[in-house]
Amino acid sequence: MSNPPGKTLRLLFPQWQGGNNAPYYFGAQLLSWLAPEATGPVEEVQVAEPRGETLELENGLIARGALLEQLSHAQHLIEKHQPDRMVVLGGDCLVDLAPFAYLNERYDGELAVLWVDAHPDILTPKDFQHAHAMVLGNLLGEGDSDFVKAVKRPIKPANVMYAGLQETMEVETAMIARLGLSSASPSDLAHTSEPVLQWLKSTGAKHLAIHFDLDVLDPSVFRSLLFAKPDVPASTWDGIAQGKMTMQQVIRLLGDVAKVVDVVGIGIAEHLPWDTLALKNMLTKLPLIGKPETK
């Protein structure tokens, strides 16, 4: 692939508090290591490494203060570079709030957003305590006022489409209907990208940002996901939508999209590499290589 013109900022954002799930921190670091070498500037948002602490509920959101501090630092790094394009490696889904808000301003409020995710991410503190499930709502001008303040130009609902969305809760279904958000299910996209391509054409948008939550993938074939956490009873996830797409389907979809629109942002989130994390922890306990135990 040829490099697009303009400056591309790569943002490593190992945020874990938005989902209150410490392994997101390591997952983001590993994602950054796995990614091809950056062609532009690289920055890392300051995120405290998890050390087994309990996060407090603050005004309806867990770790609200820490999340707002990290949001502010992400904004600072973006403004420092004022890029034309952004790659975001997270972390939980909230990592795309500052980057996508910036890109919508950068492209005069005409940015289109493809939300590749099994979940709609439009809940509010009235419905849920984890901010990573609210990020798209914030980008649309909904939800906690301090997070919404980060979005100077809310994204147009007509410029948003879900890809791979599964069944939604009643409150989510109502908001999707109220805002008129477009959607294509995994079965809709199993063999064709046409629903997304037709939506893109209808928007007239020339620039697109892609949110890629890895949990849109089927956990039976890709295991580095929340729903593939080992030693957890299957009943733990009862009533929670799980992804049904394959890597090949996502690659085809995003490749088809990139042929017809200028992709100016991509955020990859919710990487939970359970086996690698278990191996990493095991290595610390082995003779010679491991850390000595303190008495």
Q: pLDDT confidence of 205, banded at 50, 70, 90?
A: very high
CATH of domain 8-276: 3.40.800.10
Question: Which SS3 state, helix, strand or coil, does residue 80 take?
Answer: helix
Mean pLDDT on 167-195: 97
Give the whole-angstrom CA distance, residue 217 versus residue 142: 27
pLDDT for residue 1 is more than 60: no
> Whole-model pTM?
0.96
Give the whole-angstrom CA distance, residue 55 versus residue 131: 13
pLDDT for residue 140 is more than 80: yes
Supply the DSSP symbol for 221. T
Asked if 150 and 98 touch (Cβ cutoff 8 Å), the reply is yes
**In degrees to the nearest 10, what's the CA dihedral of 145, 53, 92, 76?**
60
**Which pLDDT does position 206 carry in this prediction?**
98
Per-residue model confidence as pLDDT tens digits over 240-262: 999 999 999 999 999 999 999 99
Give the whole-angstrom CA distance, residue 121 versus residue 129: 12
Asked if 61 and 67 touch (Cβ cutoff 8 Å), the reply is yes
Mean pLDDT on 19-29: 97
Q: pLDDT confidence of 294, banded at 50, 70, 90?
A: low
∠ CA 161-215-235 to the nearest 5 degrees?
Answer: 125
Per-residue model confidence as pLDDT tens digits over 74-95: 999 999 999 999 999 999 999 9
Q: pLDDT confidence of 291, banded at 50, 70, 90?
A: confident
Hey, what are 148's tokens? 């919404």
Q: pLDDT confidence of 173, banded at 50, 70, 90?
A: very high
**Which pLDDT does position 100 carry in this prediction?**
98
Hey, what are 283's tokens? 């290595």
Residues of the chain with pLDDT > 90, as a percent, come to 93
Maximum C-alpha span of the chain: 66
Asked if 77 and 11 touch (Cβ cutoff 8 Å), the reply is yes
- Helices 194-203 and 247-258, interaxial angle, to 10°? 30
**Which pLDDT does position 223 carry in this prediction?**
95
Domain ranges of the chain: 8-276
Give the whole-angstrom CA distance, residue 180 versus residue 176: 6
**Which pLDDT does position 4 carry in this prediction?**
76
